[in-house]
Amino acid sequence: MFNIPEKGKDISGCAIVGMMSVEGRMASGRKVISAIANMHERSNGLGGGFAAYGIYPEFSSQYALHIMFETPLAQRQTRDYLDANALVRHDEPIPTRPLEVIKNRPILHRYFIDIREDVRRQYYDLSEDDIIVKLVMEINRTMGGAFVFSSGRNMGVFKGVGYPEDIGEFYRLDEYEAYIWTAHGRFPTNTTGWWGGAHPFGLLDWSVVHNGEISSYGINRRYLGNYGYECLLHTDTEVIAYMFDLLVRKHKMPLELACVAMAPPFYQKIEKMAPDDAAVVKAIRMVYGGALLNGPFSVAVATRKMMMGFNDRIKLRPMWVASKDDMRYIASEEAAIRVIEPNPDRVWMARGGEPVIFTLENAEVVHA
């Protein structure tokens, strides 16, 4: 059913959208669906998806695992594994509506879990987030026909094979409200599109949507493997999500410096920097050489506390940014923003290699 390639990766020339209220105000999924639908031509029906933040207030302290299964057997085996490692506080099928254009859908289920106390004692040197990462990698690697595609708190990723507006309708996202939304329309060009290979890619609270190609995928994948991250979904964007988790969460790098590691300035530009700044950038290039992302890309990255737009250093893919009152927008095309905000206060194009970061004024938002 999943039609996963044995080797290789998918690249894309896709559409991305991000919208965020820095005050934590909730917005309907209808808005982000209309924005991504405006860029219908940038997709080809082989992948679409969304990430939404603030959607599970009743389970805000639990990790929300969205898992796709190829067979009922894979679902039973995964549930046994979850019960051995976690306390499942609630589980249910992910709500969907029948849609004729969405075909070969897997079993879609969500689990709200806490880590068992005995498991925490067993991995006493790991944080809860580390244990969840280990659990996600183990399911994706060993449970044949099971893939975790979302694992954060009070957020969720919804994705599949189809045009993004159809995926949004399929998952009933018009019934959700969130203070951050990201969306993606995919155009895979060198391998088959499949449900797990659609965007966003998520790990813990991170979600990433990407337009472009990571030509350094092989190097980045091997580099991440040194730290326990296994790229098993056969799409180059997966390395971006894991790289942010490694650099920011694990290595405690500020977002701006993590972006320097992934898209460092050229040496001609470094030589013109102030000596202290140049020394920092050179050190990052030497220590984190395996984190450098080659190729054209524009990405929208989100966590529960921020949304960021980030281009490759030459800016080979488009990215527009806008603001209006407490709302912030990122999109591949200005027209997609103006569908949902016709009169923004400011519109600009992000610069290559320089992240645009919007942070939540109230760092923890839980809506009853």
Active-site positions read 14
Residues paired with residue 340 on neighbouring β-strands, in sequence order: none
Interhelix angle 255-262/275-287, rounded to 10 degrees, is 60
Closest CA to 304 of 56, 91, 106, 110: 56
As a whole number of angstroms, the distance between CA 333 and CA 105 comes to 30
- In this structure, what are the phi and psi dihedrals at residue 278, rounded to the nearest 5 degrees? -60, -40
- d(CA 138, CA 70) in angstroms, rounded, equals 17
Under 8 Å between Cβ of 179 and 307 = no
Tell me the DSSP string of 168-194. HHHTTGGG-EESEEEEEE--B-SS---
Under 8 Å between Cβ of 148 and 65: yes
Q: Which pair of structure tokens corresponds to residue 203?
A: 């790990």
Q: Which residues contact 325 (CB under 8 A, 6 or more apart)?
A: 345
- Structure-token pair, residue 104: 């070969």
**For 354, how many CA atoms within 13 A lie in the half-sphere containing its CB?**
6
Taking alpha carbons only, the member of 197, 193, 187 closest to residue 140 is: 197
Span between the terminal Cα atoms of the chain, in Å: 38
